[in-house]
Every structure is written in structure tokens, then in C-alpha cells.
Amino acid sequence: MNGRKELDELLRTMPRVWRGRRPQANEGAAIPTGFQALDRALPEEGWPFPALMEIAVPAWGIGELQLLLPAMRYVQESGKRLAWIAPPYLPYAPALADAGIDLNRLLLLDKLSNDKDIWWSAEKLLRSTACGMVLAWPRKLSPFAVLRRLQLAATEGRCLGILLLTALPADTPAALRLRLEAGEQGLWVHILKARGMPLVNAVLIGGSDDRAPN
Amino acid sequence: MALQTLPTAPAIPLSSPAEQISATPQPVPATLWLCCYLPHLPLEVFKLEDDRPAAVWEDSGGRSLISAVTPAAAAFGIHPGLPTNAALALCADLRLYRRDQPMEHEALETLAETGLGFTPWISLDYPAAVLLEIRASLSLFGGLDALMQRLRTELEDQGHQVLLAAAPMPFPAWLMASSGLERTVENPAALRSGLGDLAIVRLPIERDTVKRLAKAGLHTLRDLWRLPRDGLARRYGLALLRQLDRAAGREKDLPRLFRTPPVFEAHRELAAETESLAYLRPVCAALLEDLAAFLRRHDAATDRLELDLSHFRRPATRLELKLRYASRDPERISMLLNERLERTPLPAAVTALSLRCDSLQPYRAHETDLFAADTPGALDWEALLEQLQQRLGHDALRFLGASADHRPENAWNWNASPIGIAIGKERRPLWLLPKPRPCDPTRYRLLPERERIESGWWDGAPIRRDYRVAVSPEGVRAWMYRELDGNGGWYLHGLFA
């Protein structure tokens, strides 16, 4: 155990040693996902930060928010704000409060007339230093140039931008892209792309469908 | 290679002894009042642009008399005091304007605003003149001559001819300027000799007294100053003596200071009608620069302003800009205004822009609280919210709140203070459908969890529902209910996202 730590330290301090699995620049800068299995699977041991990520959700309501709730709490606890841009439904305040989200520090942008407004406000919020995490639900597939802008904005504003989409564009500059799938046992998280090398390509999180009643 | 040792530099004295001596405190300098007298103000307010003869007349005891003339009119022999009929007889083309004193006063106020750029001490107590106390501003502007030159240029740019004179007291300064003497008398003791050749007529005393003095061969102030004071007072009254003392700067003279009404109004005509924002933006920027200068002078900030875009034969388009917090930063306001301009449809080409701002607040520098560690960049955040609000509309920005109600649709609200009053311990979905949607329960697999909500009989919106959690074939966990009253139908109400 001790020896491994020393070896890690040695490798870390030797700039000439390239370590494939973890991107070196961002070491230790990830946001814990709150799910051990997922943390272990992701090359950065958490959600990449600061970065843009994409999550493909085949149908709203399969658990996409549950997946992100621990990270949201983490961001709020670190003193930053959350922003949700154009969610598909009404976020239900009592449930959010129950989940430990500070509603005062959750900005909701609603009634956006088009995707252009969504991109525009996403970029503004990502660039803002006050925001730690921005969730956006764009209606259409977004062009590469837009995604690139958002990725840059997230990096410059030190923010985690998450796009929740029903289908993923072919090409993306995002640091991480996932696909969710509802399974009998819980939520399957497929890791489609990650900076560094993911260990596994799918993780099951959450209990079974019957975990709920208590 | 051996390192060369550098000789230690000799300590440079902070200031030479000679400088220290000159820095000894000097006695507080006396005031210095600069008078800008506007001899042609009654004509200038009409903004005559050509050289055709024109004159201003006013009512004087039932007769209309000429009170000011242009050089072109003067060439016809028209002079102030002439009846208008006589003037028209001399020049048939003469354009006559009735004297407009409110407009003159307005013009003076505008000039006083300009003067505020030079000193905060401004008075409009004297007719057709702006008085500025400039002693404290001299070093900033590089001396009296430089200051006068700058002031003259600024006033002339606004279309006014001025006569400038400076004296330690306002009255002698005004006397000199209004008599056409552009002099500077800085030393109070030199006032008497400086004003010596001034005509007695210039003093605000009764005409009779002036006539009696003239009969005695006294025409200038120097003549009076040579006479014994008690004799003067006995023969011509104390009023004359008082005016003399005022002229000599012996009497304390504290003029009322000019205070601007805190409203900013600016108007710009466009050179050509345009709908293009590229042309409007610089004009807006110029207006906002003016506004910022105005706010700086008043040490104020604003949180509301109105921009009117005038159209030809159409009501103007009005943009009302409300800021989330008061500011005077032209860049910030400009950014917000541009945001609004881009999203405001213009019904027609714009001919002119006018900016108005009457909501002034005391300016406070950015409040940075050392101890508010939990709000990094709180001000940036406000600015960002503001920008979002300007573009997306007022109701696009929301904050959620929870309220104590058993009815799911009533247990949340917008913008309320989200005190977490959770009623009951049952699980609630993260997504709520704004309106429950009828659904087919056979598509779903119902989970054993169930909850009956029966509430709201007191306010006319009662509900009686059996809530269930169900899983759709796609794996969506739904929150649905069966109506216990009415048609007994199934409705989808939320999603456990």
C-alpha cells in the first residue's frame, strides 16, 4: 500500500512519464459523482472539471437527475450556484429541497423561445464565476462550433456544463459523453468518450426499481 | 567569471531643502470668482444661424422696445431701447423675437452644468452670467489662463459669446465682465484701482442718483473713491456707499449656489434615418457617455432610464431599461441597452434618440464584503442575471420555492422564499408536469408504493387522488394518480428523474 503511494508520487513528479489513464493537467480537479462505482470508472475519478459533458437520455425521467444530484449538492456546498436552462418539465421544488438542493441558489431559465437563447445563456452562465454547474436541455442537436464555444466557456469560467440530450451529435469537443439506459437493476451509465481512458464502458448505479418504498 | 561588485548607490534625498522650504503651508487663499457674462444671451437662445438682421424686443411699460440686436441689425442703426416700430422703419426685413426669459434661464442652467466640470461652486445670482469659484481648481487646470481658455472654448462650442473676468468677490467680477472689461484682479486690495475707470451707471443704483452724480461731474468709480465716505453717504444715501463697498470687495457676498435638478435629458438627431443598429449604437454610446458624466458630477448612480427612438410620423418607440442594481458604468449600461435594442423590433426608421433618466441614487462604490465568503462574485452574478433578464425577458429568470400544501400542484411556487416546509415523508418526483396529463395505466408497471392525497376542500380546489409510482416500458419512473372523484381517470403528474 505504502509502496504504491510512493510509486504514484514518483510518477507524478516525473514529467517525462506519460500515464495513459489519467489526464495529467486536471488531476484532482474532478467533482465526485457521488457514486463509487462511477468514480472508479471515470478516468478523472469524478465528473471532469472544468469541462463540458453530454448525457444522452433516451426518455426524460429514467433517473438523469438522480445521477447528477450528488454533484449538484457538492457544487452548492462549495459555494457556487446552479443553473438549469430550459428543463423539459417543471422542476418540483419540494422534491429538490428534499434532495438537499438549496433552492435559493438554483437559477432556472424558463420560457426560452429558441435554441439560440439556450446557447447564449449557457455560454454566459458557464463563463460566470458565480456558477459552478450549468445544466441545459437543448431541443435540437447543436453544431460543433457551438459546443466548442461552450467547452471554452466552461473552461474559462471554471464550471461544469452538462448538456442533456435525447440524441448525441456525431462530433463533439465535450470532455465526457455518457449515454443513460434504464435497466431492471438500476441505471446503466455508458461511457462513450472520456479524456484519458475509462476503465469500463458501462456502470450500473442505483438500486433496483423497488428501492423506492420505505 | 568573477562577479563585479557594484558600488552601493548613494541614498537619494527625498526632497532638496529648497523644496521643503517652498512647501511650508501658505495662508488659505482667498476666493476667486470667475464671471462668465453672456452679453448676447437674449439673442443666442433663439439659435439664429444666418446673418440676417434680427432683434429681440420686450415689453417695457406698455411699449415694445428693442432689447438686443444682431450686428447685421445694428448696421441699420437699430439699437437697444428703440421702439419696435422705429426699428421696422429702419429695416423692413428685421426679424423680431420676443424676449424669452425662461429660455435664457434654461440656457444659463445648461451653462452652469458645463461649469460644474470646473468647480462645484457655481452661482446664477447675477443676471446673464454664470459665476464660478475657481480658486481650488486652478492648479488642476494649470492656472487661470488655461482654465479661462478652456471654459471659453466650451461655452463657445455651445454657441455663446462670453466675457470673462475674475475677482476675489462675485460682484466686482460681474461688474467688470458685464461692463466689457475682461480683467483679472486677484488681490482684493487692487480692486479699487482695477475698477476705477468703470462708469457709475454700471452700479445697480437709481437712475436719479446717477444723474445727480453726473451733474456733479462724477462719472467713474475712481471719482467716487476720491471723495470722503461720510460726505457721499450724506449727499447720495447709504445705498450708493453699500454698492461701492460691494464693488471694492469689502462687503461679504455669499451668492446662492447653483444646484442642478437631478434629471438627465439628452437628445440626438441622426444625420439620416436609419434602422441599422450599427448606426444607432455609437449614438447610444455617446448619449450614455453624457449620462455617465452627468452621474459622476452628481456623485450618483441610476437604476432606471428611458430611451426614446423617434420615428417620422409615428409614435416613438420607448425602451425602458431597469437595472437590477444602480450603476453609472457606461459600458455596463451600454451592454444592457444593446441587448435590448437587438431584441426590440423597430416599426420604422429612427430619426432621433433621446435618453432620459430621473431616477438618481447616491453612488456607492462596489461593495466588497470581506466576510461574505459564500458569495464569490456576488456583483458579477447580479450583473449576469441582469443581462439574462434583458435578453430573455422578465419572467424567464426563476427561482423556485416550496410552500406548505398537500396538493402537489400547490406545494411549490416561483420566487417565494424557499423555506423547506416538507409535508410528510413521501417521495416526490423531481419533474412535475405543469398540468397532469391523462395516461393509460396499462402501459405501466405499478409499484407497490401508494399514497392518498385528499386536501384543499377549504379553498374551492379540492383534490382526492390515489398516487402511485409506475415504471414505463422505457424505464421512466412516473408519478401518476387515479382521480377518486369525477371520471376516475388516470393522470401522469410527475417523473422521478
Segment B227-247, tens digit of pLDDT? 888 888 888 888 888 888 888
pLDDT greater at residue B395 or residue B331: B331
Cβ-based contacts under 8 A for chains A and B:
168
Most confident segment among A117-126, B242-251, B295-304, B394-403: A117-126
pLDDT greater at residue B379 or residue B233: B233
Instruction: For residue range A33-66, list pLDDT tens digits in order.
Output: 888 888 888 888 889 888 999 999 998 988 899 9
Out of 3.40.50.300, 3.50.50.60, 3.40.50.9100, 3.30.70.20, select the CATH number for domain A31-205.
3.40.50.300
CB-CB under 8 Å, A89 with B431: yes
Cα Dmax for chain B: 122
Three-class SS of residue B459?
helix
Min Cα separation B360/chain A (Å): 28
**Helix or strand holding residue B148 (H, E):** helix B144-157
Contacts of B147 (CB under 8 A, 6+ apart): B34, B118, B134, B137, B138, B141
Nearest alpha carbon to residue A60 among A83, A37, A27, A87: A87
Q: Is B74 at the interface with chain A, CB within 8 A?
A: no
Q: How many CB atoms lie within 10 A of CB B189?
A: 11
Average confidence (pLDDT) over B322-347: 83
Which pLDDT does position B238 carry in this prediction?
85
Given a contact cutoff of 8 angstroms between Cβ atoms, the answer to whether A154 and A165 are in contact is: no
pLDDT band at B110 (very low <50, low <70, confident <90, very high): confident
Question: Above 70 in pLDDT, residue B5?
Answer: no
Question: Cell numbers of A186, please?
Answer: 438500476
pLDDT band at A86 (very low <50, low <70, confident <90, very high): very high
Question: Above 80 in pLDDT, residue B58?
Answer: yes
- Sequence letter at residue B108: L
pLDDT band at B3 (very low <50, low <70, confident <90, very high): very low
CA B234 from centroid of its chain's CA atoms? 52
CB-CB under 8 Å, A130 with B431: no
Which pLDDT does position A12 carry in this prediction?
66
User: Which chain B residues have a beta carbon less than 8 Å from that of A129?
Assistant: 376-377, 380
Considering only CB atoms, A103 lies closest to which of B384, B418, B469, namely B418
Average confidence (pLDDT) over B258-272: 80
The 8-class DSSP code of residue B225 comes to H
Which pLDDT does position B365 carry in this prediction?
64
Distances A197 to A29, A45, A173, A179, A201 between C-alpha atoms, Å? 16, 11, 16, 17, 10
* d(C-alpha B463, C-alpha B479), whole Å: 16
* d(C-alpha A96, C-alpha A93), whole Å: 5
pLDDT greater at residue B379 or residue A144: A144
Instruction: For residue range B25-36, list pLDDT tens digits in order.
Output: 444 557 889 999
Which pLDDT does position A161 carry in this prediction?
94
Q: Is B369 at the interface with chain A, CB within 8 A?
A: no
Distances A83 to A32, A87, A94 between C-alpha atoms, Å? 19, 10, 17
Question: Cell numbers of A14, please?
Answer: 516525473
Question: Above 60 in pLDDT, residue A210?
Answer: no
Which pLDDT does position B14 carry in this prediction?
40
Question: Cell numbers of A130, please?
Answer: 458565480
User: Which chain A residues have a beta carbon less than 8 Å from that of B449?
Assistant: 212-213
Q: How many CB atoms lie within 10 A of CB A47?
A: 26
Which pLDDT does position B487 carry in this prediction?
79
Q: Is B404 at the interface with chain A, CB within 8 A?
A: no
Which pLDDT does position B19 carry in this prediction?
39
CB-CB under 8 Å, A98 with B434: no
Q: How many CB atoms lie within 10 A of CB A43?
A: 20
- Sequence letter at residue B441: P
The domain spans of chain A are 31-205
Which pLDDT does position B414 carry in this prediction?
65
Instruction: For residue range A190-203, list pLDDT tens digits in order.
Output: 998 888 776 678 88
Question: Above 50 in pLDDT, residue B388?
Answer: yes
Average confidence (pLDDT) over A171-198: 86
Q: How many CB atoms lie within 10 A of CB B4?
A: 6
pLDDT greater at residue A1 or residue B386: B386
Average confidence (pLDDT) over B306-325: 86
pLDDT band at B330 (very low <50, low <70, confident <90, very high): confident
Contacts of B10 (CB under 8 A, 6+ apart): none
User: Which chain A residues have a beta carbon less than 8 Å from that of B394?
Assistant: none
Q: What is the mean pLDDT of chain A?
A: 83
Which pLDDT does position A69 carry in this prediction?
93
Question: Above 70 in pLDDT, residue B486?
Answer: yes
CB interface of A with B, residues 125-154, below 8 Å: 125, 128-131
Min Cα separation A213/chain B (Å): 6
- Calculate the dihedral angle through the C-alpha atoms of B176, B179, B183, B189, rounding to the nearest 10 degrees: -30
Distances B250 to A28, B169, B170, B171, B218 between C-alpha atoms, Å? 80, 9, 12, 11, 22
Considering only CB atoms, B392 lies closest to which of A59, A91, A121, namely A121
Burial class of B14 by CB neighbour count within 10 A (0 to 12, 13 to 18, 19+)? exposed
Which pLDDT does position B239 carry in this prediction?
86
CB-CB under 8 Å, A124 with B497: no
CB-CB under 8 Å, B401 with A92: no
- Sequence letter at residue B182: E
A77: nearest CA in chain B? B374
Which pLDDT does position A172 carry in this prediction?
86
Given a contact cutoff of 8 angstroms between Cβ atoms, the answer to whether B481 and B452 are in contact is: no
Instruction: For residue range A8-34, list pLDDT tens digits in order.
Output: 777 667 666 666 555 544 445 788 888
pLDDT band at B404 (very low <50, low <70, confident <90, very high): low
B377-385 — which CB contacts under 8 Å span 24+ positions? B377/A128, B377/A129, B377/A130, B378/A130, B379/B325, B380/A128, B380/A129, B380/A130, B381/A81, B381/A128, B381/A130, B381/A131, B382/B324, B382/B325, B383/B324, B383/B332, B384/A124, B384/A125, B384/A128, B384/A130, B385/A107, B385/B324
Q: Is A164 at the interface with chain B, CB within 8 A?
A: no
Phi-psi bin for A11: left (phi > 0), alpha (psi -120 to 50), beta?
alpha
* d(C-alpha A190, C-alpha A214), whole Å: 29
Which pLDDT does position A52 carry in this prediction?
92
CB-CB under 8 Å, B396 with A109: yes
Which pLDDT does position A20 carry in this prediction?
58
pLDDT band at B378 (very low <50, low <70, confident <90, very high): low
Nearest alpha carbon to residue B114 among B83, B147, B82, B151: B151
ipTM, interface predicted TM-score of the complex: 0.79
Question: Above 50 in pLDDT, residue B7?
Answer: no
* d(C-alpha B150, C-alpha B165), whole Å: 14
Question: Cell numbers of B178, please?
Answer: 458685464
Q: How many CB atoms lie within 10 A of CB B169?
A: 26
Considering only CB atoms, B497 lies closest to which of A60, A102, A111, namely A60
Min Cα separation A147/chain B (Å): 20
pLDDT cut 90: percent of chain A above it: 27
Instruction: For residue range B139-159, list pLDDT tens digits in order.
Output: 888 888 999 999 999 988 888
Considering only CB atoms, A110 lies closest to which of B377, B396, B494, namely B396
Question: Above 70 in pLDDT, residue B274?
Answer: yes
Instruction: For residue range B151-198, list pLDDT tens digits in order.
Output: 999 988 888 889 999 998 889 999 999 988 888 888 888 888 888 888
Give ∠ CA B376-B381-B387 in degrees, rounded to 5: 165
Query: What sign has the CA pseudo-torsion A89, A90, A96, A98?
Result: negative
End-to-end CA distance of chain A: 40
Average confidence (pLDDT) over A110-122: 87
Q: Is B373 at the interface with chain A, CB within 8 A?
A: yes
Nearest alpha carbon to residue B227 among B255, B256, B192, B203: B192
B404: nearest CA in chain A? A94
Probe site for chain A from B431, B443, B477 (most A CB atoms < 10 A): B431
Q: Is A211 at the interface with chain B, CB within 8 A?
A: no
Min Cα separation B459/chain A (Å): 21
Burial class of A36 by CB neighbour count within 10 A (0 to 12, 13 to 18, 19+)? exposed
Q: What is the mean pLDDT of chain B?
A: 81
